[in-house]
């Protein structure tokens, strides 16, 4: 049913459930947000596992994906699951119903966004089809940060206004591992809230201050994710790109600069990896900041 879902183990207690970036493969017929934007770019959900306990970080793009995640965890002996949502966008919450018997944790704003848009999301009219019905809402929320214990592993949930005003990253202080949700993305960030871009720059600096050793974004290169993730340079690379977009809005940066040119230094040293489907993301980002 899910011929291209891959399970990676980027770190001893971390699993990645990666789907997408498969040429010619479509999850569903017709225009739909699962293929167009999620699987086309590639998307991972994660699990932090210790013994019988697991934290599932995002429930993926469909109920079928979430069922596969839950089955894989239970096959490994997991008995207790806590879900944490990175933010409210559909490709991160579509499988919530599979975890309706579990605690689902999000920041307060995520719950508000989901509640405000619930009717449209359940009708399949928010971002078009497929509908997510029923949309299962968070059962526990927090404002700024919250620490959970998954087996013996301390996991800090931290709120950042990057990409979406309800962004939540996971920080594992013992291993200095950052699970970044959509606050960071390779090849470039997807601008969902252009009016907030100037806020994203200091928020990225606050994120960099964690000083992570490795970073796992939800959208990125499968080989890089499978081999342990990105280096800390992904954060300043994202800030450079955001600043370039802000420059396009103010007229100091040409919107005509090709993507490969704009991020050339970060591509050259391997901080970022060019993936052609991000041309459409970049074009959309430029249009959203310049009003073109
Ligand atoms: Zn996403």
DSSP-assigned beta bridge partners for residue 215: 178, 230
User: Order of strands across the sheet with 164-172?
Assistant: 145-150, 153-162, 164-172, 177-181, 214-217
Q: How far is the CA of 38 from the centre of ligand 1 (A)?
A: 6
Model pLDDT, residue 254 = 95
Model pLDDT, residue 37 = 87
Model pLDDT, residue 291 = 86
Model pLDDT, residue 292 = 63
Q: How far is the CA of 81 from the centre of ligand 1 (A)?
A: 22
Model pLDDT, residue 218 = 98
Q: Is the pTM of this model over 0.85?
A: yes
Question: In the chain, which residues have pLDDT < 70?
Answer: 292
Q: How far is the CA of 269 from the centre of ligand 1 (A)?
A: 25
Q: How far is the CA of 149 from the centre of ligand 1 (A)?
A: 25
Taking the domain 6-290, which CATH number applies? 3.60.15.10
**Alpha-carbon distances of 201 from 9, 197, 240, rounded to whole Å:** 31, 7, 9
Provide the mean pLDDT of the chain.
Answer: 97
| Helix/strand/coil for 214 | strand
């Amino acid at each position: 049913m899910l011929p291209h879902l891959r399970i990676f183990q980027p770190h001893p207690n971390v699993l990645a459930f990666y789907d997408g970036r498969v040429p010619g493969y479509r999850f569903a017929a017709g225009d739909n947000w699962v293929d167009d934007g999620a699987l086309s770019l590639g998307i991972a959900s994660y699990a932090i596992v210790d013994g019988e306990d697991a934290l599932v970080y995002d429930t993926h793009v469909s109920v079928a994906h979430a069922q596969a995640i839950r089955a894989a965890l239970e096959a490994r002996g997991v008995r207790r699951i806590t879900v944490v949502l990175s933010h409210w966008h559909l490709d991160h919450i579509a499988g919530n119903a599979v975890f309706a018997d579990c605690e689902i944790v999000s920041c307060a704003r995520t719950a508000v966004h989901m509640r405000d848009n619930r009717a449209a999301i359940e009708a399949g009219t928010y971002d078009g089809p497929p509908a997510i019905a029923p949309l299962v809402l968070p059962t526990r929320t927090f404002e700024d940060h919250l620490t959970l214990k998954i087996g013996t592993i301390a996991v800090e949930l931290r709120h950042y206004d990057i990409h979406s005003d309800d962004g939540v990253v996971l920080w594992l202080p013992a291993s200095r591992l950052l699970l970044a949700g959509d606050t960071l993305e390779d090849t470039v960030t997807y601008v969902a809230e252009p009016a907030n871009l100037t806020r994203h720059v200091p928020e990225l600096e606050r994120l960099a201050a964690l000083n992570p050793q490795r970073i796992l974004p939800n959208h990125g290169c499968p080989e890089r994710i499978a081999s342990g993730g990105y280096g800390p340079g992904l954060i300043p690379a994202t800030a450079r790109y955001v600043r370039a977009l802000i420059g396009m809005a103010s007229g100091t940066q040409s919107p005509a600069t090709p993507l490969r040119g704009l991020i050339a230094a970060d591509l050259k040293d391997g901080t970022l990896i060019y993936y052609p489907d991000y041309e459409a993301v970049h074009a959309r980002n430029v249009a959203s900041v310049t009003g073109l």
